[in-house]
Amino acid sequence: MKASPLSAPTLVETVAASITERIAGRHLMPGARLPSVRAFAEAMGVSKSTVVEAYDRLGAEGAIVARRGSGFYVAGKTRPLCLKTVGPQLDRAVDPLWITRQSMQAGPDLVMPGSGWLPAAWMPDAAIRRGLRQLARGGEANLVAHDQPLGFPPLRAQIARRLAEKGVEAGADQVVLVDSATQAVDLLCRFLLEPGDAVLLDDPCYFNYHALLRAHRARIVGVPLTRSGPDLAALDALMAEHRPRFYLINSALQNPTGSTLAPATAHRVLKLAEAHDTLIIEDDIFGDFEVEPSPRLAGFDGLERVIQVGSFSKTLSAAVRCGFVALREDWVEPLIDLKLAMSLGNSHLSASLMHGLLTDGTYRRHLGEVREKLARAMAPALRRLEACGLTAWLEPAGGFFLWMRLPAGVDSADVARRALARGLVLAPGGAFSPSSLGDSFLRFNVAQCTDPRMIPMLEAALAECAASAAP
- In the window 83-112, what residues touch a copy of itself (CB under 8 A)? 83-84, 97, 100-101, 103-105
Q: Tell me the backbone φ, ψ of residue 76, rounded to 5 degrees.
A: -70, 175
| Least CB distance to a copy of itself at residue 460 (A) | 28
Determine if 250 is a binding residue for a copy of itself (CB under 8 A): no
* Dihedral sign from CA coordinates of 300, 306, 307, 313: negative
Closest residue by Cα to residue 118 from 350, 446, 428: 446
d(CA 386, CA 399): 19
Q: Which of 83, 397 has the CB closer to a copy of itself?
A: 83
The answer to whether residues 390 and 404 touch, using CB atoms and an 8 Å cutoff, is: yes
For 312-465, list the strands marked E by DSSP: 323-326, 391-392, 401-405, 427-428, 441-445
The C-alpha angle 235, 168, 176, rounded to 5 degrees, equals 95
Q: Is residue 350 a contact residue for a copy of itself (CB under 8 A)?
A: yes
Classify 106 as helix, strand or coil. coil
Per CB under 8 A, 135 contacts a copy of itself: yes
335 in contact with a copy of itself (CB under 8 A):
yes
Interaction between residue 435 and a copy of itself (CB under 8 A): no
Which residues in the 3-32 window bind a copy of itself by CB under 8 A?
Answer: 31
Closest approach of a copy of itself to the CB of residue 215, in Å = 5
Amino acid at 351: A
In the list 32, 81, 379, 421, the residue contacting a copy of itself (rule: CB under 8 A) is 81
Angstrom distance (rounded) from CA 26 to CA 7: 29
Name residues whose C-beta falls within 8 Å of residue 288's C-beta, 6 or more positions apart in sequence: 314, 315, 367
Selected range binding a copy of itself among 208-216, 366-374, 381-389, 409-417, rule: CB under 8 A: 208-216
Is 78 one of the binding residues for a copy of itself (CB under 8 A)? yes
Cβ 386 to a copy of itself shortest distance, Å: 30
DSSP letters, 34-80, are PPPHHHHHHHHTS-HHHHHHHHHHHHHHTSEEEETTTEEEE--TT--
Is the Cβ of residue 41 or residue 113 nearer to a copy of itself in the bound state? 113
The CB-of-199 to a copy of itself minimum distance in angstroms stands at 12
In whole angstroms, the minimum distance from the beta carbon of 273 to a copy of itself comes to 11
Comparison of 385 and 434: residue with beta carbon closer to a copy of itself:
434
- Asked whether position 362 contacts a copy of itself by CB under 8 A, the answer is no
Q: Is 251 helix (H, G, I), strand (E, B) or coil?
A: coil
| Nearer Cβ to a copy of itself (209/441) | 209
Q: Which of 48, 92, 161, 190 binds a copy of itself (CB under 8 A)?
A: 190
Choice between 53 and 186, CB closer to a copy of itself? 186
Which listed residue (35, 71, 149, 224) binds a copy of itself by CB under 8 A?
149
Which of positions 276-305 make contact with a copy of itself (CB under 8 A)? 277, 279, 305
CB 431 within 8 A of CB 96: yes
- Output the smallest distance, CB 380 to a copy of itself, in A: 24
**Total site size for a copy of itself, rule CB under 8 A:** 81
Q: Which helix (H) or strand (E) holds 281?
A: strand 279-283
CA 155, CA 153: separation in Å to the nearest integer?
5
Tell me, what amino acid is at 309?
V
Amino acid code (one letter) for 233: A
From 207-215, 380-388, 393-401, 410-418, span contacting a copy of itself (CB under 8 A): 207-215
First-last CA distance in the chain: 31
Q: Does 271 bind a copy of itself (CB under 8 A)?
A: no
Q: 413 - beta bridge partners?
A: none
Question: ∠370-360-168 over CA atoms, to 5°?
Answer: 70
Interface residue with a copy of itself among 142, 391, 435, 436 (CB under 8 A) is 142
d(CA 357, CA 316): 9
Q: Does 59 bind a copy of itself (CB under 8 A)?
A: no
- Residue 129 binding a copy of itself, by CB under 8 A: yes
When asked if residue 275 is in the footprint of a copy of itself (CB under 8 A), the reply is: no
The DSSP output letter for 320 is S
Q: Which stretch binds a copy of itself (CB under 8 A): 7-15, 42-50, 178-186, 408-416?
A: 178-186
Closest approach of a copy of itself to the CB of residue 48, in Å: 30
Q: How far apart are CA 129 and CA 151, in angstroms?
A: 23
Q: Indicate which single residue of 349, 377, 378, 419 sits in contact with a copy of itself (rule: CB under 8 A).
A: 349
**343 makes contact with a copy of itself (CB under 8 A):** yes
Return the number of the residue (2 or 146) whose C-beta is nearest a copy of itself: 146
- With CB under 8 A as the contact rule, the residue among 321, 366, 418, 443 that binds a copy of itself is 321
